[in-house]
Structure 1
């Protein structure tokens, strides 16, 4: 029989299928056997492209991380850079919450994750942060963003008011939270990010020195933050 014009498998096809499988069934439901079945191939075929299951997971993780924008580090005030990065980072992770526990780990050998770490760390050090503190700030941001992207607090309430009204008088309106899930979750994240940056600004002034006034973000910048 003539050879097919295109190979049955490619790294990209494997990564896309693995990401879809994890989105649907979570990390616990992911296996190379299950992935091979989804792709309609035998398991060993995967190892022509990836040596191990962890390599596949790393590639999936990097395919998400590469969407995070860090281009502004070094171009704008570090406070603005952290805010823009935070919104972009959360948007990428929130689109794939079931792989967030894997993404929350250190960058390992993942190229996109290492490039992000390099940009953030370099931008903070260039802005005057001591190297150790720059490491702490980068890690802190990752903890905060990953935690916010794991799931929806608002979606955890049912829409039946009788569940809350009698026994939990302060939650009489909690049944409406699921209806406004996006506003609640995004509002909470934005508030937390502002508070985090304000706290870091105080630490910077205690450690490094006075900060210049922060230029007001333009409407275009704010829209960029919220829709990354």
Structure 2
């Protein structure tokens, strides 16, 4: 007796990447055996969808988080606002999964959706007057700041232990921050982003002289 093949695949790339992301959220990493166990399949089934193994799955996770988030409106006339919107969306997505950031930064970005987002940002910066060398530095600086802020989003509420010394400048700042409603990490990101964009603007202004 012939058993009919299922009309739909038991696994999809998105399902595998989503399960891997869940494992990372819980434990900070994943292995193919642990992923196969969660999915109830063999490791060979995962390799069928991801011949590149673990690194390919990490890139698929990157794509899940990027999705439509990293799309840049190249028609915007104000590059600062376009870059700010991109950075805010990027940070918001990755801040939900801070444990995945170390995995993503350990390998080359190859996910097409993510690369398309960076390409959009690069074109906005190029059209604003950033030269090729400064443009790459600008993208790198923004990337490092955003990913660092995403990690900060997953940090303890109290990052630093407040000194009981009444003369401690750090202690006083911590107490003021605790007394203020809202997300300290998000506020720090917004302040830092404004400063960063103002600093990057000097690269364009300097090249125009």
TM-score w.r.t. the length of structure 1 is: 0.78
Structure 1 residue runs of 5 or longer lacking an equivalent are 210-228
Q: Name the residue aligned to 1:191.
A: 191
Of 66-75 and 140-149, the range deviating more from structure 2: 66-75
Rounded Cα–Cα distance in structure 2 between residues aligned with 1:67 and 1:206:
33
Of 198-207 and 33-42, the range deviating more from structure 2: 198-207
**4+ residue runs over 4 A deviation:** 175-182
Q: How many residues align?
A: 203
- Within 5 Å, which residues of 2 pair with 1:36-51? 36-51=36-51
Q: Name the residue aligned to 2:77.
A: 76
- Within 5 Å, which residues of 2 pair with 1:48-63? 48-51=48-51, 52-63=53-64
Of 189-198 and 121-130, the range deviating more from structure 2: 121-130
Residues 88-139 of structure 1: CA deviation (Å, up to 9, x unaligned): 1100110111111233357532101211121111111111111111111011
How far has the Cα of 1:7 moved from its partner?
A: 2.5
How far has the Cα of 1:37 moved from its partner?
A: 0.3
Q: Does 1:130 align with 2:131?
A: yes
3-state SS in 2 of match to 1:155: coil
1:22 pairs with 21, 24, 27, which one?
24
Rounded Cα–Cα distance in structure 2 between residues aligned with 1:168 and 1:180:
19
How far has the Cα of 1:84 moved from its partner?
A: 0.9
Q: Name the residue aligned to 2:90.
A: 89
Structure 2 residue runs of 5 or longer lacking an equivalent are none
Rounded Cα–Cα distance in structure 2 between residues aligned with 1:149 and 1:24:
16
Q: Name the residue aligned to 1:10.
A: 12
- Label 1:67 to 1:177 Cα distance change in 2 as closer, same or farther (>3 A): farther
Q: For the Cα contact (< 8 Å) 1:129–1:208, is it kept in 2?
A: no
How far has the Cα of 1:70 moved from its partner?
A: 2.8
CA-based RMSD of the aligned residues comes to: 2.6
